[in-house]
Chain A
Amino acid sequence: MTDPILRTEGLTKNFDGVVATNDVSISVPRGELRCIIGPNGAGKSTLFSLLCGMHRADAGRVLLKGEDVTRLLAFRRVRRGIGLTFQTNRAFHRLSVRQNLNAVLQIMRADRPADADERYRFALDRFGLDPDSEMLAKELPHHRLQWLEIAMVLAAGPDVILLDEPTAGMSSDETLQTGTVLKHLNSSGLTIVVVEHDVAFVRDVAQRSTVMHQGPVLAEGTVDEITGHADVRRIYLGQA
């Protein structure tokens, strides 16, 4: 197993006494496409916000490429190679596609991966996004808006991207296309962590999956291992 690019140790976060994540320890090897699944309220989005620095953990550590980034601000983590799309699309809706993509290009990290530009151009091409388009982002269909945000994150040249339900609201064709692009990006060496509900999508793209349930990690493994896990079947799939 290669060195983990992203690792957490005992990550815990409370919001006004409500435990959102509890003692979460995960390890994502470089180059893996990992899905994180779990029912609503399992703490998946909170985990992402702790990984990218939007929230500070109450306890535990986040390690990015072996470096402890737990106390680093979000923008410093991004500059160290992490990228994130939100559960609710947060491309700049009132700006044009061109303005959205141009807003990112100033960040040229010194240690960005050699093929970062290639990945970005590939995503633009496969997502059918014209970087010079003056069309307002809010006028894009939903799935292209989701793709635009992914392209924006790729423009920064990350080593690992966190996608929070990237296919929510997409048709099956659009979901399939998203999966194809993500798999290609992953095959070029990009580490991808996806929070997802769509089991078919997870089965299509994930190399390994992590199941979360009300805070801690419940199970981890390939999709077959996960779906065969007794606790997962009982809690997540509602089966005995």
Chain B
Amino acid sequence: MSHLLKLLTGPEDIGRSRWFWATFVAVCVFLFVYPFWLSEFEATNNAYYLLNVPIALGLALLWGYCGILSFGQVAYFGVAGYVYGIVAGNMIGNAAGPIVGSLCGLAICALTAAIFGYFVFYGRVQNWIVPILTLVLTLLFETFLGQTAGYQWRVGNVQLGGYNGMTGIPAFQIGQFVVTGYSFYYYVLIIVVIGYLSLRLLVNSQYGKVMLALREDPIRTELLGYDIRARQLVVFVIAAVLAGISGLLYVQWGNYITPSQVGLLQASLPVIWVAVGGRESLLAVLLSTCARNWLNYTLSSEGYQYALIIIGALLVAVMLFFPDGIIVTLARELPKRGWRALVGLHKGKAG
């Protein structure tokens, strides 16, 4: 137990002090309590801000901690979503359908990531090519899904639907209990908290320490005796499964999915969430993903047509002044320099 606590408070993420953990617990308690003051609709919206956290944390692990940038995370998001839709959609009436669908979605995610990753990493594809390959994978998947409008693209009772998307995807269900509204919010919240804490354990474990070495210099790492291909593959599959979890949550939230969910715009979003918060910190990525999704949702639902442009401008500003990510830079520099140094942060950044 003390070993777990030591790992949890280890040095490979920001936020290690007692104050941090006290705040963390307080925020968790608040998040569990405050839906009592919300309508069910608002609680469901809040779940939406949170459901993208797993995909972003997976990318932080892959890119920030292991040095592999991927634009393919949404492909795994889509794989899990579509597989869930097909399996659970064909098991409507069977209470086990959503659980079986979820497991199948994640299993296919892991399998496809393992096959793709095997060729990439065991083929020793250079690091700078991986983002291109993963982007190609994503666009191929989108193109394939886009041409599935015909009646022949039917799996059992479920129509893939081309660009109209797959509709009527069942909500998650445990036994006879259908997870929607308030319960869906708690379901997502629990997954996010467990996911974050698990990844924090991972990055502070010995495995995580080798991931950092891999990020810095794969050849040096191999010459310390590590099979870097296997390690990169394992992290790639973990990140894909996390993306898959977001995909599952998304289809269980909205009950539909379209090929545009795995398109170019969507492929770039996780990269932005991760970069803005600071890819080398799980906590920063968690916060920036929630904030950015909240901002986008709020701006869009308030009727601002230019939501994406406003967010884009904010991103450019953040990347110009905080290239290591705004939260990571603040966490690193504020204790040293205080608030007055805020304007000069980008000049003094480390690395």
By a CB distance below 8 angstroms, the chain A residues around B156 are none
Least Cβ–Cβ distance between A154 and chain B, in angstroms: 11
Known contacts A90-B217, A92-B217; is-contact A156 B351 (Cβ 8 Å): no
Contact B209 A74 (CB under 8 A): no
Least Cβ–Cβ distance between A133 and chain B, in angstroms: 12
Chain B interface, number of residues (Cβ within 8 angstroms)? 21
Contact A94 B351 (CB under 8 A): yes
Of B213, B219, B350, B351, the residue contacting A103 (CB under 8 A) is B213
Least Cβ–Cβ distance between B106 and chain A, in angstroms: 28
Main secondary structure of the interface of B (DSSP, over half): helix
Of B221, B223, B227, B350, the residue contacting A52 (CB under 8 A) is B223
User: In the docked arrangement, what's the CA distance between A99 and B11, Å?
Assistant: 10
Tell yes or no: B222 within 8 A of A by CB: yes
Least Cβ–Cβ distance between B335 and chain A, in angstroms: 13
User: In the docked arrangement, what's the CA distance between A156 and B210, Å?
Assistant: 13
Known contacts A90-B219, A95-B212, A103-B213; is-contact A79 B225 (Cβ 8 Å): yes
Best-surrounded residue of B11, B207, B217, B228 (most CB of chain A within 10 A)? B217
Q: Of A39-47, A104-112, A116-124, A219-227, which binds chain B?
A: A104-112
**For the side of the interface on A, what is the size category?**
20 to 34
By a CB distance below 8 angstroms, the chain A residues around B213 are 92, 95, 99-100, 103
Contact A99 B223 (CB under 8 A): no
Contact A75 B225 (CB under 8 A): yes
Known contacts A52-B223, A102-B206; is-contact A75 B216 (Cβ 8 Å): no
User: In the docked arrangement, what's the CA distance between A98 and B212, Å?
Assistant: 12
Known contacts A86-B220, A92-B217, A92-B220; is-contact A103 B210 (Cβ 8 Å): yes
Residues of B213-247 contacting chain A, CB below 8 A: 213, 216-217, 219-228
Contact B212 A103 (CB under 8 A): yes
User: In the docked arrangement, what's the CA distance between A84 and B213, Å?
Assistant: 16
The residue on B at minimum CB distance from A86 is B220
Best-surrounded residue of B213, B221, B225, B226 (most CB of chain A within 10 A)? B225
Tell yes or no: A200 within 8 A of B by CB: no
Known contacts A52-B223, A54-B223, A94-B216; is-contact A75 B209 (Cβ 8 Å): no
Best-surrounded residue of B223, B228, B351 (most CB of chain A within 10 A)? B223
Least Cβ–Cβ distance between A104 and chain B, in angstroms: 5
Contact A92 B226 (CB under 8 A): no
By a CB distance below 8 angstroms, the chain A residues around B212 are 92, 95, 99, 103
Q: Which residues of B contact A (CB under 8 A)?
A: 11, 206-207, 209-210, 212-213, 216-217, 219-228, 350-351
Known: A78-B225, A84-B223, A106-B206. 10 other contacts (CB 8 A): A75-B223, A78-B223, A78-B224, A83-B223, A86-B220, A92-B213, A98-B11, A104-B225, A105-B206, A156-B225
